[in-house]
Chain A
Amino acid sequence: MIGRSAAWLTGIGFVFALGVGAYSSERYTDQPFPFSHAAHVRGASCALCHQGARTGPRAGILDLVACTGCHAVPPGNPSGEQRAAWQKAEAGVALPWNRLYRLPPHVYFSHRRHVVLAGLDCSSCHGDIAQRTTAPIRPRQIVKMRDCIVCHDHEKVTVDCTGCHR
């Protein structure tokens, strides 16, 4: 009896560990400062702050907006680190936001192409961020090639490998 229970517990524990291993690749992305889109957006378009979406071939999107223009101190209850980063931002160094959406380096994805040339709405990939009061900690979905191809097929746009792979 004891032997069997031990086997059960070992089995569960072992598989628990496997589960840990299998899913340890999942990460959460935290931001250095709290940011509420709902408080700031008020109906403006995403590209007002995320200007890279309209202008460049580079897949960048976040702009170097210095929040210090309005906020003298970091909002909330800032730690010493946060205050230090804030002061650097006043000197022109960009705030240390953490990147949420990331594609592998062998993929060429241009926001301008999709937002400006194809006329997609930001929420079709990123979801409805404007209503959020906290920064999202995970991307809406981990983008796989299948997601791109499904839409490209549907919209009758190129699915040529060398169009996106590099």
Chain B
Amino acid sequence: MSNWRRRDFLGLVAGSAVGFTLGKLGLPALLGARPDPASTTRSHDGLDAEREALGVCGGCSAGCSVKLRIVEGRLVGLRGNPLCPLGAGGLCARGASEVEAYYDPDRIVGPLVRDGDRAKDRWNRVTWDEGLARVSQQLGRLVGSRRGARVGAILSSARGSMGAAVERALAAVGSPHVYHVDALRDEAAAPFAALAVGADRRFGYDLETTDLVLSLGTPVLEGWLSPAYVARRFGQGRQRTEARLRLVQVESRMSPTAMRADEWIRCVPGTEPLLALAMAGVLLREGLVDASAQAALVGLAPWKDAAGRLHRGLRPLLDYAYSPVTVSRETGVPVVDILRLARMFGTAQNPVAVGEQTAGSAGAFGLGAVHLLNALRARSGSRGCVVTPDTIPVTALGASAPVEGRIDRPPIASVASTPVWRALGGFETEGREPPFDILFLEDGAAMSDVVAGDPASRLLGKIPLVVSFASALDASTAAADVVLPSTSYFEQALDVEIDAGGFVAVAAARPALPPLLDARSPAQVVPELVRRSGREPQLGTEEQMVRYRLGGLYRARRGMAYGTPFRRGWMAQMEEAGWWTPASISEGQFIDSVLERGGWVDPRMPRPGFSPEKPYGVDARGRGFVPPAKALFAQGAEDDAWLPHNESAGDSPGTAQGMLLVPFTVGVLRGRGSPNRPSLLALAAPHVRAGFHPWAELNPKDAKRLGVESGGKVRIASEHGNVVVSLRVTEGVRPGTVALANAPAAGGAGRYAKSWKAGSERLMAGIYGRLTGARTGRGMRVQVEAEPKGAA
């Protein structure tokens, strides 16, 4: 370019300008007009672009009513329904993550059939016809040979329209085997309620007026009962100036609940029921119990039964075996604290003791120990906090035509409401064949804490056909041969029965959205399978079913559609006086109003379980905490075996040297639905910066002794199994104990949840409470050692 002159330079500049302009003008002519690629919206963001619809949250089985924000047909947000009697507009963290779960990138897109045996993780995508045919073939064979009772279903949803549809469908083939598992409740809660008061459901807890919550190991504020309801009552109770709520948390580890408690009582892990028994003894000795409660409880003082045998009675046992000095030694809680707590409980206006645990139950007798406190402080005629919920008068769907070979009552449960998985495990340990040829599992949460290698899991492996309705890969799909994915609750017409707070309610909703994926609700799939196998369950559409069930509420002349607290109070008064104002509208209008408001609620609490005529803790036959053993169990058992006692101490001979295990739940990860929720996994433990995978906690003294540091890995072994987990060192753990997160069976294979696999339940496999079979394990001993880096 060295021979360029000024002219050439100017020419270049002019040429650039010309070229530039030509480019600007010429390109569209060259390419022609083309349409603007649309953004996420097409054109119509006009009138119906945004709408709000009601739904029922599917995060757990509590049944909160939610309002969904739908923009251009997409779900983009949700909030609580202000009229919901549980949350009153608030939501728990899991409920708030339902939008995230709805769009889980690892959701199952359609029916799957396993390719090969169950050890392989290969699936084939099939059409609904093919998937249904796979199952209905087997079902047809069973029906044809009159063995329809060999079909079972285990659901993670609360009782409701879906459960009723499945029940009726299975009844049409002759099977009564529909079971519900609740991830947020202690497995022993229902059997205990059956023992204590002959209830067919577990207790609800009415926390509205309580001024003292004494929690013996229960993660009250972390995924228990109905988290939205508990949080609401806790918040209200703490913000009151009169009879302000106090929370006393008794456990060995500083859990998020203990952080917020007014008092944290540090006790040796697994000994919480002992503390309850010591306190009961103090209450009785110091006369801090209600006189009529004491009089009504049979079995406190020595008594003679009909055959003339003398029973020692509970009171002498409390004095002898559970004195404050003895218990102080066992639990590590100073005697003064035991006395002080007992007196606090004895003088509070409306106290409640809770002992339900979800990572290692206290067992039915451990719960009995805790509820003994409630029984002693129950006051004649008053509402109290522990409530046996009324039955909900929805229309029972009942059975359709009679079926040959039908069995009406499940033979599995020898004790009322035994956790079904423990009963199945019992089949295995007794060497019996599985009772089912086909088992339906709603999702991973329906498997509660079934762990690979324990009897229930082995039995599951022997069932020829396992079908999962899960919407994401989880423990149930790992065990299944066919996956028929379910729609989200937001895509179904459904109702869910609510009884967590003592009052009864039914959340109900129409479908708010069309199905996002090629999924179908089990309420449609199971009846369809039954039809294809040759029987007619006589069920309509989901909405027809819901309306049919809600019709029973109208005919019972009770309750109202969800309304404001003022309206509920007003309706309760009217009902007390015998009026029922919705009588002025038709049944159809009543049902419409229920669906438009989000649900139905009975504004009156059930009549108190305790009254001079029918005291708490005494069943219909007049027996108290000496349980109705004669009807259910073999005679000759020692008295003490049936009285409330500490059932939760693990028995692992040979490891008496190790550290005590403290299994704990991560509340937000307990529940149903997709486990692949990164917001919740990140929230698992903000105080130790853990999440996304299970972790163990050690006290700094123990960590130093073992030579491990935060972030390193440790191997924890019991005689039943071992796990390798990441470690966090924190002062919140009692020296000599190791806390280990419990990984509920809902841990899955999605990209976020894939590391949430094995936790404390693996160590506790095979340790079950004597009566109910609920998994215990608190207080068992384990070996802990550093795991070298680089090991798997």
Residues of A within 8 A of B (CB): 4, 7-8, 11-20, 22-24, 26-32, 50-52, 55-56, 58-64, 94-100, 102, 137
| A98/B35 in contact, CB under 8 A | yes
Nearest CB in chain B to that of A60: its residue: B45
Chain B nearest Cβ from A126, distance in angstroms: 15
Known pairs A22-B20, A31-B35, A60-B45 / 9 extra A-B pairs, C-beta < 8 Å: A15-B19, A20-B26, A52-B47, A52-B49, A56-B46, A58-B45, A64-B46, A98-B43, A99-B39
Chain B nearest Cβ from A27, distance in angstroms: 5
Residues of chain B contacted by A29 (CB below 8 angstroms): 35-36
Known: A11-B19, A27-B34, A28-B34. A99 touches B47 (CB 8 A): no
A23 to B31, CA, bound (A): 13
A-side interface mostly: loop
A26 to B48, CA, bound (A): 31
| B22/A137 in contact, CB under 8 A | no
Known: A8-B12, A27-B36. A19 touches B42 (CB 8 A): no
Residues of chain B contacted by A137 (CB below 8 angstroms): 33
| A18/B20 in contact, CB under 8 A | yes
Indicate whether B736 reaches chain A with its CB closer than 8 angstroms: no
| A23/B27 in contact, CB under 8 A | yes
4 nearest interchain CB pairs? A19-B23, A60-B45, A15-B19, A97-B43
Indicate whether B41 reaches chain A with its CB closer than 8 angstroms: yes
| B49/A58 in contact, CB under 8 A | yes
A4 to B15, CA, bound (A): 13
Chain B nearest Cβ from A30, distance in angstroms: 4
Known: A19-B23, A27-B34, A56-B47. A12 touches B42 (CB 8 A): no
Residues of chain A contacted by B23 (CB below 8 angstroms): 15-20, 22-23
Interface string of B8-23 (1 = CB under 8 A from A): 1001100110111111
Residues of chain B contacted by A15 (CB below 8 angstroms): 15-16, 19-20, 23
A21 to B23, CA, bound (A): 8
Nearest CB in chain B to that of A59: its residue: B45
A55 to B41, CA, bound (A): 19
Interface string of B45-64 (1 = CB under 8 A from A): 11111100000000000000
| B27/A8 in contact, CB under 8 A | no
Chain A nearest Cβ from B745, distance in angstroms: 41
22 A–B pairs (Cβ distance < 8 Å), ordered by A: A4-B8, A8-B11, A12-B15, A12-B16, A15-B19, A15-B20, A16-B26, A19-B27, A22-B23, A23-B23, A51-B46, A52-B49, A56-B47, A56-B49, A58-B49, A60-B47, A62-B46, A64-B44, A64-B46, A64-B47, A96-B42, A99-B38
Residues of chain B contacted by A59 (CB below 8 angstroms): 45
Indicate whether B630 reaches chain A with its CB closer than 8 angstroms: no
Indicate whether B24 reaches chain A with its CB closer than 8 angstroms: yes
- Residues from 210 to 245 in B contacting A, C-beta threshold 8 Å: none
Residues of chain B contacted by A13 (CB below 8 angstroms): 19
Nearest CB in chain B to that of A24: its residue: B27
A27 to B38, CA, bound (A): 12
Known: A16-B19, A28-B33. A96 touches B43 (CB 8 A): yes
Residues of chain B contacted by A64 (CB below 8 angstroms): 44, 46-48
Indicate whether B28 reaches chain A with its CB closer than 8 angstroms: yes
Known: A14-B19, A29-B36. A97 touches B44 (CB 8 A): yes
A31 to B38, CA, bound (A): 11
| A60/B22 in contact, CB under 8 A | no
Nearest CB in chain A to that of B21: its residue: A19
Residues of chain A contacted by B11 (CB below 8 angstroms): 8
Chain B nearest Cβ from A82, distance in angstroms: 13
| A99/B19 in contact, CB under 8 A | no
Which of B12, B33, B48, B49 makes the CB contact (< 8 A) with A11? B12
| A28/B42 in contact, CB under 8 A | no
| A62/B20 in contact, CB under 8 A | no
| B46/A61 in contact, CB under 8 A | yes
Known: A96-B42, A102-B39. A19 touches B33 (CB 8 A): no
Nearest CB in chain B to that of A21: its residue: B23
A23 to B46, CA, bound (A): 32
Nearest CB in chain A to that of B24: its residue: A23
Which of A7, A12, A17, A26 neighbours the largest number of chain B CB atoms within 10 Å of its CB?
Answer: A12
Nearest CB in chain B to that of A26: its residue: B28
| B12/A97 in contact, CB under 8 A | no
Residues of chain A contacted by B28 (CB below 8 angstroms): 26, 28
Residues of chain B contacted by A102 (CB below 8 angstroms): 39
Nearest CB in chain A to that of B45: its residue: A60
Residues of chain A contacted by B27 (CB below 8 angstroms): 19-20, 23-24
Chain A nearest Cβ from B373, distance in angstroms: 54
Residues of chain A contacted by B19 (CB below 8 angstroms): 11-16, 18-19
Chain B nearest Cβ from A8, distance in angstroms: 6
Chain B nearest Cβ from A156, distance in angstroms: 30
| B36/A98 in contact, CB under 8 A | yes
Residues of chain B contacted by A14 (CB below 8 angstroms): 19
A89 to B405, CA, bound (A): 54
Residues of chain A contacted by B39 (CB below 8 angstroms): 99, 102
A79 to B16, CA, bound (A): 43
| A94/B33 in contact, CB under 8 A | no
Chain B nearest Cβ from A94, distance in angstroms: 5
A45 to B45, CA, bound (A): 20
| A63/B46 in contact, CB under 8 A | yes
Chain B nearest Cβ from A89, distance in angstroms: 11
A60 to B71, CA, bound (A): 12
| B15/A94 in contact, CB under 8 A | no
Chain B nearest Cβ from A110, distance in angstroms: 12
Which of B12, B19, B38 neighbours the largest number of chain A CB atoms within 10 Å of its CB?
Answer: B19
A24 to B416, CA, bound (A): 75
A23 to B21, CA, bound (A): 10
Which of B33, B35, B36, B43 makes the CB contact (< 8 A) with A62? B43
Known: A4-B8, A23-B27. A30 touches B34 (CB 8 A): yes
